[in-house]
Amino acid sequence: MKTLLITRDIAAPVVAQARALFDVTVHAGGALDGATAAQAMRDYDAILPTLGDDFSAEVFDGDLRCKMLGNFGVGYNHIDVAAARDAGVTVSNTPDVLTDATADIGLTLILATARRAGEGERMVRSGEWGGFGPKNLLGTHVTGKTVGIIGMGRIGQAIAHRCHFGFGMEVVFFNRSPKSVEMPAQQVDTLAEAMAADFVVVTTPGGAETTKLIDATAIAAMKSNGIFVNISRGEVVDEAALIDALERGAIAGAGLDVYENEPAVPARLRALENCVLLPHLGSATAETRQAMGQMALDNIIAWTRGEIPQQAVN
């Protein structure tokens, strides 16, 4: 029986299925650091890792027993896939099954930030609410506004769809390559044009090509009443520049699901009332997380059969 390391506890039916096919170890100590990941590459035939595990280039040095990483998650910027390929290690991910859940979190952040839901929640819970008032916690209207999507992949399109058909919003998007989509949406030539929308939602993949794509210059292209949402990866945004813009009131607010150094969230950001801060919940529905686990496992099973896993990325 091949050995399989699952680096975090995942849905019970998936673990049970894995146990029937592999000699399974479920890692209990949280995310793998580089040294632990490197050791695991020597100890197991296959690994089912996830976000936060450190599979950077050095992990793939030397003689490896593990030749398959069936990642749990669509993003795999925590895995150096080029180094993996050079070491003969197949890497797969879990696209599609999390598109709707992640797009829903994008809308959650648009609405919660625009309508000051976090502030309102804090007010009610602290006992400070004094009752209905015509000018209490006035937010920003969402319906009919413009949304700028940065990165029009599967999740970007699902958000655009919700914004347009659900909220009558005009959609503009910035994407590196030309993209035709089956809904009214205008591709713009520059990042600045998309940043100038009423709501900006970042849905690019992480990784070297998008690191700090949203820098101080990009943020400066936003309207002073603009709202910024990031559900992709924290590293895509210059977090310090974003905090600076929020503190200065250069933009109206931000809804964030991801951070530059997760799980650390800067105290300056946590102090800002005009931000809604979620703990990386994009795909966190029970149904989606089970489907992700199943897809990751199915990819590993395909690899054991000598097939190219359906969601192989390298």
Is residue 234 close enough to count as binding ligand GLV by CB under 6 A? no
Is residue 282 close enough to count as binding ligand GLV by CB under 6 A? yes
Q: Enumerate long-range contacts of 301-304, CB under 8 Å, 24 or more apart.
A: 301/21, 303/46, 303/67, 303/68, 303/70, 303/90, 303/92, 304/2, 304/21, 304/46, 304/68
Among 187, 204, 283, 311, binds ligand GLV (CB under 6 A): 283
Catalytic residue flag (residue 233): yes
Catalytic residue among 233, 235, 239, 260: 233
Token pair 């593990």: residue: 66
Q: Least distance from C-beta 259 to ligand GLV, angstroms?
A: 12
Q: Could you give the CA distance from residue 185 to residue 144 in angstroms, rounded to a whole number? A: 14
Distances (CA, A) of 290 to 94, 281, 283, 300: 11, 14, 10, 15
Neighbour tally for 152: CB within 10 Å: 24
Catalytic residue among 58, 170, 193, 262: 262
Pick the closer one to ligand GLV by CB: 110 or 252: 110
Catalytic residue among 8, 27, 280, 289: 280
Pick the closer one to ligand GLV by CB: 155 or 221: 155
Q: Least distance from C-beta 117 to ligand GLV, angstroms?
A: 22
Among 49, 70, 75, 309, binds ligand GLV (CB under 6 A): 75
Catalytic residue flag (residue 161): no
Helix (H) / strand (E) containing 43: helix 34-43
Q: Least distance from C-beta 69 to ligand GLV, angstroms?
A: 14
Q: Least distance from C-beta 292 to ligand GLV, angstroms?
A: 7
Contact between residue 38 and residue 80 where contact means Cβ atoms under 8 Å apart: no
Greatest distance between any 2 Cα atoms in the chain: 68
Q: Could you give the CA distance from residue 304 to residue 70 in angstroms, rounded to a whole number? A: 11
Q: Could you give the CA distance from residue 170 to residue 164 in angstroms, rounded to a whole number? A: 6
Pick the closer one to ligand GLV by CB: 91 or 98: 98
Q: Least distance from C-beta 231 to ligand GLV, angstroms?
A: 8
Catalytic residue flag (residue 58): no
Contact between residue 46 and residue 300 where contact means Cβ atoms under 8 Å apart: yes
Among 46, 68, 84, 98, binds ligand GLV (CB under 6 A): 98
Is residue 202 close enough to count as binding ligand GLV by CB under 6 A? no
Of 27-66, binders to ligand GLV (CB under 6 A) are: 51
Token pair 């997380």: residue: 289
Select from 71-79, 163-171, 222-230, 271-279 the region that touches ligand GLV (CB under 6 A): 71-79
Pick the closer one to ligand GLV by CB: 7 or 146: 7
Is residue 70 close enough to count as binding ligand GLV by CB under 6 A? no
How many amino acids of this chain bind ligand GLV (CB under 6 A)?
7
Q: Least distance from C-beta 109 to ligand GLV, angstroms?
A: 14
Q: Could you give the CA distance from residue 271 to residue 267 in angstroms, rounded to a whole number? A: 6
Per-residue tokens: 180: 């035709």
Contact between residue 236 and residue 213 where contact means Cβ atoms under 8 Å apart: yes
Which residues form the interface with ligand GLV (CB under 6 A)? 51, 73-75, 98, 282-283
Catalytic residues: 233, 262, 280
